[in-house]
Structure 1
């Protein structure tokens, strides 16, 4: 077998486009993404590192010449953020070239363990609230869960034939589910395909219209809180924080979807499905709020637990109950970890209690539905407002206090104010 000829290694940010990465003229490089001599891999990664480090240094030097006094306050965080994401990309290249060629199961999990540990510590290199929280959400939670599924050839990172490197990196780093056609099912008819395409076009148009409105509303609310927070009642502030969290999640996930759609043609996926229209907690958490997290929890926690317990005395009918509770407990623990990254304060477990409470309520809903059927359902005009009020009220008591107690909200507002001042100085 021929070794990889490093002389043909492309510059990762130029020379070859990402979409043509698979066409890189590696001598003797097999088509199934890298059954090459493992001894060459450190040299290949080293070459990629040198190219990216050089680009980062040039970008930072250019930015230093452009920055005003306010922007220089952000300079350190920008450098740290770029280093963190450089480490993320390098680690995912390792997963793509090395771990993917290891048989699925324990051996692949062992090869991915250093990456999972690294992703746990990387957010600690950042100090600003939003960069830390967003990086931890995307990488420590979503990417780590995707890699766990990848261990068993499941989830959006696994496909046959294998994805190209840019697609692998996009699905790993960005909140994409990568829903594909089941190979065991026949391909849809032309009429079905045309109808599906029309729905996707309408969805994309609607997304591109609503996204800037949400971004504008997010900015307006932040500026309003910056200027008038001291005059606003605490209850109103909690309500505004609920709206800001909803908008932030939709903006982050929506922006990632737009970038992936523009760069690689990946189908747009809605971040949430109008959670304020939920008529039950089961509908809110299962089908409307933060769909990428719902998807990952379903496949990493709920389905394995339900499958394992279906063979016990619970049987398939009641095995879903511990599956639901396990999903909410894991979600609570992951939120505690995210809050720790942002506040750097010891967990109080209030957030975990929030999700455990909601898990219990969802289980109660499931039991009522099993026993009473549709007779136990309230009219949507009653159940809708009750659901929304319950979510907001419990969030005010359990979800937001850890952030407010440690001043994370004040720090976020100050960072936003500094960013606005930086943009004003630059332009």
Structure 2
């Protein structure tokens, strides 16, 4: 019933957006009841992230004519999709956009290799295993986003903004979190948290420093969002480790911005791109091992997710072998005739 309630709510919102803030909390409650029925890590994570977290933020922004899904989608179907799913229509469509076959095939092959390597996890260090999990997470998000993009192009006739933009090439924390990793979330936080907090801060301090409270507030809200997500995944009392992870990222990102401002004015200098990328990705990973991953490891969520993937791959293999057998049998029968 939760899903149908949400559809009904969105139908009302589409006809009267000024009342969307009234229904946002109802959407959250019905979504929360719905996600409690899922035991699959993948489905639970996708449902909580898309519906309980992002959809509510989008609807709140929508009620104030800010952020997605502004501008208003032309059809009700598009309104549902752009509200439910972590997607955004491409503002400047490019006729040269195409499905990256080679890129996706390479990523699928790498994921296959990683799944095979997990069979030797008893011989791996915990840090190496976590690194493989993070790489796998990034690859799978990109793979799913690529196939989802095809479905959207077919059924809605519009192209999408990329889900991520090669985060391993980030040269700074600001670049990583703001322009490369999970781009839908920064777009929401920028409109819902950063911009209002910056406007309030600039009334009490100089405009040059008003952005720092906005940056910290955005990371704190992101941490609380992830804390709620972890609660649904682990069903355990929050430890606040993941919140502190994002607080730490916010503090260092703000410090990085301040350092850039100071060095640009007094003594311009910069590291080489290779060193910047190594430091950025290394910091995100090291702090992730320290604060982001432990709760998932202790609760067994990562092991459950890996087990689900192995079952899914085995299912696909069995179906492929079955279909191949049927095809070969049909060919033999045809040749015999």
Q: Normalising to structure 1: TM-score of the pair?
A: 0.69
Question: Which aligned pairs between 1:95-114 and structure 2 lie closer than 5 A?
Answer: 95-96=10-11, 98-102=12-16, 104=18, 107-114=19-26
Question: Which aligned pairs between 1:148-297 and structure 2 lie closer than 5 A?
Answer: 148-159=60-71, 163-180=74-91, 200-205=94-99, 207-225=100-118, 227-297=119-189
TM-superposed deviation, 1:238 = 1.6
Aligned partners of 1:219 and 1:109: how far apart in 2?
44
Match of 2:218 among 327, 341, 350: 327
Q: Which runs of 5+ in 1 are unaligned?
A: 1-82, 181-195
Aligned partners of 1:319 and 1:292: how far apart in 2?
24
In structure 2, the partner of 1:361 is 252
Kept after mapping to 2: 8 A contact 1:146/1:156: yes
TM-superposed deviation, 1:102 = 3.5
- Match status 1:418 vs 2:333: no
Q: How many residues align?
A: 318
Query: Larger C-alpha radius of gyration, 1 or 2?
Result: 1
TM-superposed deviation, 1:252 = 3.3
Of 268-277 and 365-374, the range deviating more from structure 2: 365-374
Runs of 4+ in structure 1 over 4 Å off: none
Gap change, CA 1:283 and 1:103, over 3 Å in 2: closer
TM-superposed deviation, 1:168 = 0.8
In structure 2, the partner of 1:30 is none
Aligned partners of 1:103 and 1:351: how far apart in 2?
34
Question: Which aligned pairs between 1:15-54 and structure 2 lie closer than 5 A?
Answer: none
TM-superposed deviation, 1:320 = 0.8
Aligned partners of 2:105 and 2:35: how far apart in 1?
28
CA RMSD of aligned residues (A): 2.1
Aligned partners of 1:417 and 1:163: how far apart in 2?
41
Gap change, CA 1:145 and 1:251, over 3 Å in 2: farther
- Match status 1:124 vs 2:36: yes
Aligned partners of 2:259 and 2:209: how far apart in 1?
13
Aligned partners of 2:127 and 2:24: how far apart in 1?
45
TM-superposed deviation, 1:424 = 4.3
